[in-house]
Amino acid sequence: MNKPIAVITLILSLLSFGGKAQERVVSTLLPMSERMVYSEIIRNPESWQTDFRKKPKWTYTNGLEMHSILDVADRYGNSEFFKYAESYADLMVQEDGTISTYRVDEYNIDHLAPGKILFELYEKTKKEKYLKALRLLRSQLDNHPRTKEGGFWHKKVYPNQMWLDGLYMGAPFYAQCASYFNEPSKYQDVINQFILVGKGTWDPKSKLYRHAFDYSKEMFWADKQTGQSSHVWGRAMGWYAMALVDALDFIPQDEPNRKQMLDILENIAKGLVKYQDKKSGLYYQVMELPGKEGNYLEGTCSAMFAYSVLKAVRKGYLPSKYRKLGESIYNGIVENLIKVDQNGIVSLTQCCEVAGLGGKSMRDGSYDYYLSEPIRDNDPKGVGPFIWASLEMESLYPRK
């Protein structure tokens, strides 16, 4: 993109790392995707600091945001963004391909997700350590524990459980590996993950997908008849939607059962139409109970839905009639959840920090539980999808 020289000079001078954070300015003349990335760099001078980290860690949250930043770097030819995103991987991946803070034998599906940035980084830098790290992460799936039907456990410490979150963490990476490393026999395994979790979490009453299910039906949070958790958590549905649109990019169109992924995606889209808050265009934290006392319009799931729908329409995964839905979600975010300070620094508000099931904190998946988790600004689980949604909108309405 050819920017006016004055804008480039303004940005480069005011974003120099020698200045004080409060003196840096983000130009409102830039596309929103770039404005958000510059804002994040101001908040987090080192890329490993995203997600409010005090020390570096190999984690899906950092990887998610770095992936979105790489896509902005590609779209607008911004080398500063590329270097910022690559600095995270360069720090975490060692020369022999091992990854700091990562262990294969933990069998945590979350740890595969940041590996997606390594494909592009290897192609552009040809650093062999990135390819070695990709192969290391891919090897986790060879022995990752599974349910009897073949679904990957969410984590080794969560036996027999499949969470919607886990589909985003593992399936797009697995699908891209199948394409990149020429493993066509693995596509069916990828597709089966979506089918199994969809079958296990589908709620016929709300016609939405619940957060998770336990094959053993033994967990305290699981229904003894269905094994399902109690509610539809907005971000879990968001993870599932993003997993579908990202994994579909790598699965050949003639692959058997691929259509079932498209059917699931349209089920999600139908649910989004039904449960969208008509006034704001956004979605509630506990998605199937809009307007219930204490429930709130949540930023991360809304950003995930905006990105998923807009991309799905562009790629032909959803009919074009859903484009209006995607745009309305995005516009609702900008109008209701985006705040810009006096220096042009952009923030995404009303983000649920975290939510899960079980574990040491005995998270029971109740309505009160989902409302008890902290709410904060600029959670990367919302920032990354918002950046991607902004790129989708910028493709539809490019600046002249």
Contact (Cβ atoms closer than 8 angstroms) between residue 378 and residue 347: yes
Q: Residue 19 above 80 pLDDT?
A: no
Residue-level pLDDT at 270:
98
The verdict on whether 223 is a catalytic residue reads: no
Poorest-pLDDT segment among 16-20, 41-45, 225-229:
16-20
Please name the residues in contact with 90: beta carbons below 8 A apart, sequence gap of 6 or more.
Answer: 127
**How many folded domains does the chain comprise?**
1
Q: Residue 309 above 50 pLDDT?
A: yes
Poorest-pLDDT segment among 18-32, 83-97, 270-284:
18-32
Please name the residues in contact with 63: beta carbons below 8 A apart, sequence gap of 6 or more.
Answer: 88, 113, 114, 115, 116, 117
SS (H, E, C) the chain: CCCCHHHHHHHHHHCCCCCCHHHCCCCCCCCHHHHHHHHHHHHCCCHHHCCCCCCCCCCHHHHHHHHHHHHHHHHHCCHHHHHHHHHHHHHHECCCCCECCCCHHHCEHHHHHHHHHHHHHHHHHCCHHHHHHHHHHHHHHHHCCECCCCCECCECCECCEEEHHHHHHHHHHHHHHHHHCCCHHHHHHHHHHHHHHHHHHEECCCCEECCEEECCCCCCCCCCCCCECCCCEHHHHHHHHHHHHHHHHHCCCCCCCHHHHHHHHHHHHHHHHHHCCCCCCCCECECCCCCCCCCCECHHHHHHHHHHHHHHHHHCCCCHHHHHHHHHHHHHHHHHCEEECCCCCEEECCEECCCCCECCCCECCCHHHHHHCCEECCCHHHHHHHHHHHHHHHHHCCCC
Contact (Cβ atoms closer than 8 angstroms) between residue 71 and residue 383: no
CB-count exposure of residue 237 (10 Å: 0-12, 13-18, 19+): buried
Poorest-pLDDT segment among 20-29, 75-84, 119-128, 266-275:
20-29
Q: Residue 32 above 90 pLDDT?
A: yes
Q: How far is CA 108 from the centre of its chain?
A: 16
Residue-level pLDDT at 361:
78
Residue 3 burial (CB count, 10 A): 18
The CATH number linked to 269 is 1.50.10.10
Q: Residue 210 above 50 pLDDT?
A: yes
Percent of the chain with pLDDT over 90: 92
Residue-level pLDDT at 362:
85
pLDDT grade for 227, boundaries at 50, 70 and 90: very high
In the set 51, 71, 110, 165, the catalytic residue is 165
pLDDT grade for 21, boundaries at 50, 70 and 90: very low
pLDDT grade for 28, boundaries at 50, 70 and 90: very high
Average pLDDT of 273-291? Answer: 98
Q: Residue 264 above 90 pLDDT?
A: yes
b/e code 242-258 from CB counts within 10 Å (16+ = b): bbbbbbbebbeeeeeeb
Q: Residue 322 above 80 pLDDT?
A: yes
Poorest-pLDDT segment among 18-27, 75-84, 92-101, 328-337:
18-27
Q: Residue 14 above 50 pLDDT?
A: no
Q: Residue 380 above 60 pLDDT?
A: yes
Average pLDDT of 309-318? Answer: 98
Residue-level pLDDT at 191:
98
Residue-level pLDDT at 359:
87
Residue-level pLDDT at 399:
80
Average pLDDT of 264-291? Answer: 98
Q: Look up the domain containing 272 and give its range.
A: 5-396
Residue-level pLDDT at 76:
98
Mean pLDDT of the chain: 94
Residue-level pLDDT at 400:
66
